[in-house]
């Protein structure tokens, strides 16, 4: 038969009462500080996502797609701060503006012409139609300029926005691919557009 001295301390009524914490209790001040640090970190991350959504979307896109996109036989480079949308036909390369700078953005569209017929393209007629379609309340014609796409020079037309400062549209045609390429956005990204065009692979 067991005696009281043979039983564990908590059965004899010695030491801590049953159901109470036996270890040291955490300090309330330390717990509050941890919650405060966590809240500040979450607030900082949320603010970054809200102000700079482009970097989040672009980083996720590049992790999945690497640094280029295919359109038929063309391989089109996509810079690190840009990402793409692929509608039924064509590719849209874009960047989202920061929250407080709505005009700090640009979009590049590369797509087949509406007419799929493989016939020689009348460049003068295309220039006339594009100018008539674009010039008006929103844009004025600025200049005609060649642009390098891969190893080929293609014709482009540049238009300045009437109402938006430092905002342009550059419309180009790629005769060998029966396709067009168009930039719309801030002038600060025209050089990125030119670099993307020059880096396109697959044009003979």
Mean pLDDT value of segment 171-187? 93
Q: What is the pTM of this model?
A: 0.70
Q: What is the mean pLDDT of the chain?
A: 77
Query: Would residue 163 count as lying in a domain?
Result: yes
**Which structural domain range is residue 174 located in?**
51-198
pLDDT at residue 89 is higher than 90: no
Query: Would residue 193 count as lying in a domain?
Result: yes
Query: Would residue 16 count as lying in a domain?
Result: no
Query: Would residue 29 count as lying in a domain?
Result: no
Q: Sorting pLDDT into bands at 50, 70 and 90, what band is 10?
A: very low
Q: Sorting pLDDT into bands at 50, 70 and 90, what band is 16?
A: very low
Query: Would residue 14 count as lying in a domain?
Result: no
pLDDT at residue 9 is higher than 90: no
Instruction: Give the sheet arrangement for strand 91-95, strand by strand.
Output: 83-85, 91-95, 106-112, 179-186, 167-174, 152-161, 139-149
Query: Would residue 91 count as lying in a domain?
Result: yes
Total domains present in the chain: 1
Alpha-helix runs per DSSP H in the chain: 9-12, 28-51, 53-65, 123-134, 190-198
Query: Would residue 109 count as lying in a domain?
Result: yes
More confident residue, 109 or 68: 109
Mean pLDDT value of segment 109-120? 74
Query: Would residue 1 count as lying in a domain?
Result: no
* CATH number of the domain bearing residue 77: 3.40.1000
Residues with Cβ within 8 Å of 190's Cβ and at least 6 positions away in sequence, in order, are 168, 170, 183
């Amino acid at each position: 038969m067991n005696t009281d001295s043979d039983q564990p301390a908590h059965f004899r009524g010695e030491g801590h009462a049953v159901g109470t914490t036996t270890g040291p209790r955490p300090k309330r001040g330390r717990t509050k500080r941890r919650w405060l640090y966590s809240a500040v970190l979450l607030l900082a991350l949320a603010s970054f996502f809200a102000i700079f959504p482009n970097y989040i979307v672009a980083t996720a896109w590049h992790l999945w797609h690497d640094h280029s996109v295919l359109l038929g036989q063309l391989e089109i480079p996509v810079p690190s701060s840009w990402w793409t949308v692929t509608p039924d036909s064509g590719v849209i390369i874009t960047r989202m503006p920061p929250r407080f700078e709505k005009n700090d953005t640009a979009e590049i569209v590369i797509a087949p012409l509406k007419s799929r017929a493989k016939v020689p393209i009348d460049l003068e007629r295309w220039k006339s139609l594009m100018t008539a379609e674009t010039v008006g309340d929103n844009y004025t014609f600025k200049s005609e300029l060649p642009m390098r796409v891969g190893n080929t020079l293609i014709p482009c037309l540049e238009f300045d926005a009437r109402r938006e400062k430092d905002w342009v549209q550059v419309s180009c045609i790629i005769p060998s691919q029966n396709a067009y390429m168009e930039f719309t956005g801030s002038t600060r990204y025209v050089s990125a557009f030119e670099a993307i065009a020059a880096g396109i692979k697959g044009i003979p």
